Amino acid sequence: MSRVAVIGAGAVGCYYGARLAEAGHEVHFLMRRDYEAVQAHGLRIISKDGDLHLPHPHIARDPSTIGVVDWVICALKATAIEQARALVAPCVGPSTRILVLMNGLGLEDRFAEWFGAGRIFGGLAFTCINRGDPGVVHHIDYGPITIGHLLDDPAEVDTALSLWARARVETARAPSLLSGRWTKLCWNIPFNGLAVTAGGITTDRILADPALRTAVTALIIEVAAAGNADLDAHGSAVRLDGATTARNMVAATEAMAAYRPSTMIDFVEGQPMEVEAIFEEPLRRASALGVATPLLSLVTGQMRALNTRARSGAEIDRGPR
Amino acid sequence: MSRVAVIGAGAVGCYYGARLAEAGHEVHFLMRRDYEAVQAHGLRIISKDGDLHLPHPHIARDPSTIGVVDWVICALKATAIEQARALVAPCVGPSTRILVLMNGLGLEDRFAEWFGAGRIFGGLAFTCINRGDPGVVHHIDYGPITIGHLLDDPAEVDTALSLWARARVETARAPSLLSGRWTKLCWNIPFNGLAVTAGGITTDRILADPALRTAVTALIIEVAAAGNADLDAHGSAVRLDGATTARNMVAATEAMAAYRPSTMIDFVEGQPMEVEAIFEEPLRRASALGVATPLLSLVTGQMRALNTRARSGAEIDRGPR
């Protein structure tokens, strides 16, 4: 059994941390918003894979009270990346491993700068999870985690997978962490992007509109092409098949209930969105590699403008009238 | 001198009608919102080409009180196309000509069904005009009207141009009405579209963002390609040069002050937007002709979703929480 620290106990952190606790690991949750509620009533998971109630989970407001662990699961929002080092560091000892369970591209590289690349993993959660009332998490659909190691060391990936061996979570090995990240972007860029830019709509409404559905497929093909150029530039032989990925992701999303991607929730709640990690960094790499990505460019520009508005709380422009 | 009826006295109708009145034509304005204000204080144009005040213009609330005219200038919002026939008909006699001074594709065909194709013209106003206080119109930049005849009869275009001969409005002859319409769409689709979908921003902010700027150029090239296929399908030899059009339009828009496209004003005011005529019809034609327009598809889907939301006054989706 391992000591685990979940840093950033939002919907994703709470869900996967609870599954590890259920499997017998000693899981500590760093909590802010839900601390009192969980202290009073425990942590409740309402899940299509079976509900779960942890009446007295280990919770902390300060990571130094958790101390050194075997595994850090960092599930912060990508917008909090600049705070991640300070929040994670108190839990890191010589043999601590770190699983970055966040959205977006390039985050593991930051952790590698801070803590050394050999201990850094990325987790790609293909799942529909939303927060409910304080202390309650709704796990709506899917749930597998694909795991990769930043240096793609197969023995290290084995170690990571063994953490989840008894947990009620399906796991898979990424062909390479970078290809896994780009595969995840193939979903997040179109669905998080269009859910926001079409005004705050659920995934079913995106796919019900023939024009948006066409755009989803075209976007996935663009993102896969950018990903392949990036994989090539990193010396990886792994390649994504854009058309197949598009077909599979559209089908998988169609089979889901109406879902509110996390970025869309941030948008309608006026919170900062994960634009940098999900959109800006992929666009930056595509541009640097000379891959034409006009759709990604369009959506990134829109997200950037909408995020600026949300961040500044600024009124939309009003001219003479 | 001609008798003229301006049907739909918004910013564009008021501006061009006032310039015809200034030139000595007998211009009647069909007014709703601004009727009382104009009756009391006249119609005031604040224009970079010279201010103008008509103290007692002919105004009407009902087109039948205007009666038959030489020229109808229909400057309704494209969303009001279904009301256009009833509003225009009382002004149409055997020799009346109709200038459709509206945004979008396919509107002249509707007028042709109702009143016969031989008398139908399209006017493409490349201009920045916004409504101010009731009875006041701000003409901010540019101002030429390009005119085409629905059957592309050169003698008819001459007749149309002669109406404007003494007016303080620059006019030009469209190489063909259809090419003129598509050229105008090359501006309206990217700039009206992105001004809305990036959250209600002005044209300068679109061009200041490198990603949106890239998307503008790519969109113009797509729209021009769709236009060329449509021109070909209509047996026209005229072609648009997408790259040149993009360069010129970006430069012209960059030279303008920050501008709020009409659709963006509708968006921020929660009014129905001209999505059908500016986006849906061009996309429909591109699809029917087999032209790949992923960017147009994306923006049309976004506009459609945002317009539905505006029309229904519906709350953005809120899921479990």
Of A198-202, B87-91, B127-131, B209-213, the one with minimum mean pLDDT is: B127-131
> Judging by DSSP bridges, how do beta strands A43-47 and B43-47 pair with one another?
unpaired
Enumerate the residues of chain B whose CB falls inside 8 A of the CB of residue A295. 294-295, 298
Mean pLDDT of A186-197: 98
B130: distance to nearest CA of chain A, Å? 7
Average pLDDT over residues B102-119: 97
Q: Is B53 on the interface with A (CB under 8 A)?
A: no
Q: What is the pLDDT of residue A8?
A: 95
Q: What is the 3-state secondary structure (H, E, C) of chain B?
A: CCEEEEECCCHHHHHHHHHHHHCCCEEEEECCCCHHHHHHHCEEEEECCCCEEECCCEEECCHHHCCCCCEEEECCCHHHHHHHHHHHHHHCCCCCEEEECCCCCCHHHHHHHHHCHHHEEEEEEEEEEEECCCCEEEEEEEEEEEEEECCCCHHHHHHHHHHCCCCCCCEEECCCHHHHHHHHHHHHHHHHHHHHHCCCCCHHHHHHCHHHHHHHHHHHHHHHHHHHHHHHHCCCCCCCCHHHHHHHHHHHHHCCCCCCCHHHHHHHCCCCCCHHHHHHHHHHHHHHCCCCCHHHHHHHHHHHHHHHHHHHCCCCCCCCC
Q: pLDDT tens for residues A224-234? A: 999 999 999 99
Per-residue pLDDT, averaged over A254-283, amounts to 95
User: ∠ at Cα B295 (B298, B148), nearest 5°?
Assistant: 110
pLDDT at B133: 95
**Of B71, B277, B264, B269, which Cα lies nearest the Cα of B162?**
B71
pLDDT of A154 strictly over 90: yes
| Dihedral over alpha carbons A127, A133, A136, A141 (to 10 degrees) | -20
- What's the rounded mean pLDDT across residues A220-247? 98
| pLDDT score of A119 | 98
- Classify B314 in phi/psi space as left (phi over 0), alpha (psi -120 to 50) or beta: beta
Cβ–Cβ gap A295/B295 under 8 Å: yes
Per DSSP, A188 falls in state I
Q: Which of A63, A184, A261, A277 is catalytic?
A: A184
A176 touches chain B (CB under 8 A): no
Structure tokens at B189: 């689709």
ipTM of the complex: 0.89
B196 and chain A: CB distance < 8 Å anywhere? no
User: Would you state the pLDDT for residue B308?
Assistant: 86
pLDDT at site B93: 98
Q: What is the pLDDT of residue B268?
A: 93
Give the relative orientation of helices B177-187 and B242-254 as an angle to the nearest 10 degrees: 50
Nearest residue of chain A to residue B208 (CA atoms): A301
Task: Name the pLDDT band for B154 (thresholds 50, 70, 90).
Answer: very high
Residues A109-134 have a mean pLDDT of: 96
For B34-57, give one letter per residue: b (16+ CB within 10 A) or e: bbebbeeebbbbebeeeebebeeb
pLDDT attached to residue B25: 98
Best probe of the B interface among A302, A303, A306, A318, by most B CBs < 10 A, is A302
- Determine whether the interchain pair B211/A304 forms a contact, defined as Cβ–Cβ distance below 8 Å: yes
DSSP, res A276:
I
Q: How confident is the model at residue B257 (pLDDT cuts 50, 70, 90)?
A: confident
At B315 the pLDDT is 43
Q: Average pLDDT in the A149-176 region? A: 97
Are B80 and B8 a contacting pair, CB within 8 Å?
A: yes
**A91: pLDDT strictly greater than 50:** yes
Residue A246 scores a pLDDT above 80: yes
C-alpha span between A305 and A262 (Å, rounded): 18
Nearest CB to A211; choose among B198, B297, B309: B297
Is A125 in contact with A99 (CB distance < 8 Å)?
Answer: no
User: At the topology level of CATH, where does B179-317 sit?
Assistant: N-(1-d-carboxylethyl)-l-norvaline Dehydrogenase; domain 2 (1.10.1040)
pLDDT at residue A310, as a whole number: 61
Q: Which two tokens stand for residue B257?
A: 């002050």
Catalytic annotation present for A184: yes
**Residue indicated by tokens 């979903």:** A187
DSSP count for chain A of H helices, then E strands: 14, 10
**Residue A235 confidence class, pLDDT cut points 50, 70, 90:** very high
Chain B positions touching A218 (Cβ under 8 A) are 294, 297-298
CA distance B26 to chain A (A): 28
Residue B244: pLDDT above 90?
yes
Letter string b/e over residues A91-120, b meaning 16 or more CB atoms within 10 A of that residue's CB? bbeeebbbbbbbbbbbbbebbbeebeeebb
Binning pLDDT at 50, 70 and 90, where does residue A311 land?
low
Any CB–CB contact under 8 A between B290 and chain A?
Answer: no
The pLDDT of A194-199, averaged and rounded, is 97
pLDDT interval class at B311 (50, 70, 90):
low
Average pLDDT over residues B307-318: 57
- So what's the pLDDT on residue A309? 73
Tens of pLDDT, residue by residue over B263-299, are 999 999 999 999 999 999 999 999 999 999 999 999 9
Tens of pLDDT, residue by residue over A18-47, are: 999 999 999 999 999 999 999 999 999 999
Confidence of residue A308 (pLDDT cuts 50, 70, 90): confident
Instruction: Please tell me what DSSP assigns to residue A318.
Output: -
Whether residue A194 lies within 8 A of chain B, CB to CB, comes out as: yes
Tokens of B99: 């200038």
* A316, pLDDT greater than 90: no
Strand pairing partners for B221? Answer: none
**How confident is the model over A62-88, as a mean pLDDT?**
97
Distances (CA, A) of B115 to A95, B127, B148: 83, 28, 17
Q: Are A168 and A50 contacting, i.e. CB atoms less than 8 angstroms apart?
A: yes
Reply yes or no on whether the pLDDT at B313 is more than 50: no
What is the CATH code of the structural domain delimited by A3-174? 3.40.50.720
What count of Cα atoms within 13 Å lies in the side-chain half-sphere of residue B67? 4
Contact assessment for residue A48 and residue A140, using Cβ atoms and an 8 Å cutoff: yes
What is the mean predicted confidence (pLDDT) over B228-245?
97
Which residue is catalytic, options B164, B184, B185, B238? B184
A56 contacts A88 by C-beta, under 8 angstroms: no
User: Residue A257's pLDDT is what?
Assistant: 86
Interface check B215 vs A, CB under 8 A:
yes
> Where along chain A do the CATH 3.40.50.720 domains lie?
3-174
DSSP 8-state secondary structure symbol assigned to residue A278: I
Tens digits of residue pLDDT in B184-193: 999 999 999 9
Burial class (CB in 10 A: 0-12, 13-18, 19+), A235: exposed
Tell me the C-alpha distance between A213 and A193, whole Å: 13
| CB-CB under 8 Å, B302 with A197 | yes
Confidence of residue A313 (pLDDT cuts 50, 70, 90): very low
Residue B298 has its nearest CB partner, among A132, A199, A215, at A215
Residue of A nearest to B135 (CA): A321
Which are the contacts of A18, defined by CB distance < 8 A and separation ≥ 6? A27, A43, A45, A52, A54, A57, A137
| B228 token code pair | 């060329």
Res. B318 pLDDT band, cuts 50 70 90: very low
Phi, psi of B249 (to 5 degrees): -70, -40
Residue A106 has pLDDT above 70, yes or no: yes
Distance CA B98, CA B149 (A): 10
Residues 6+ apart with CB under 8 A from A251: none
Long-range CB contacts (within 8 A, 24+) of B304-307: B304/A209, B304/A211, B304/B275, B304/B279, B304/B280, B305/A198, B305/A199, B305/A201, B305/A205, B305/A209, B305/A212, B306/A198, B306/A199, B306/B196, B306/B197, B306/B267, B306/B273, B307/B272, B307/B273, B307/B275
> What pLDDT is stored for residue B204 in this prediction?
97
**CA nearest neighbour of A103 among A223, A19, A188, A220:** A188
pLDDT score, position B297: 98
Residue A293 has pLDDT above 90, yes or no: yes
**Residue B39 confidence (pLDDT) above 80:** yes
Q: What is the pLDDT of residue A30?
A: 98
Looking at residue A312, its pLDDT comes to 56
Tens-place pLDDT, residues B59-83: 999 999 999 999 999 999 999 999 9
Instruction: Tell me the average pLDDT across A141-170.
Output: 96
User: What span, in angstroms and rounded, lies between the C-alpha atoms of B180 and B189?
Assistant: 14
- Positive or negative, the CA dihedral A189, A190, A192, A193 is positive
Sign of CA dihedral B105, B108, B113, B118: negative
Q: Are B126 and B146 in contact (CB under 8 A)?
A: yes
Q: What is the DSSP string of A51-63?
A: -EEESS-EEESSG
d(CA A239, CA B293): 26
Is residue B149 pLDDT above 60, yes or no?
A: yes
What pLDDT is attached to residue B309?
Answer: 73
What is the Rg, in whole angstroms, of the alpha carbon atoms belonging to chain A?
A: 19
Residue range(s) occupied by CATH 1.10.1040.10 in chain B: 179-317
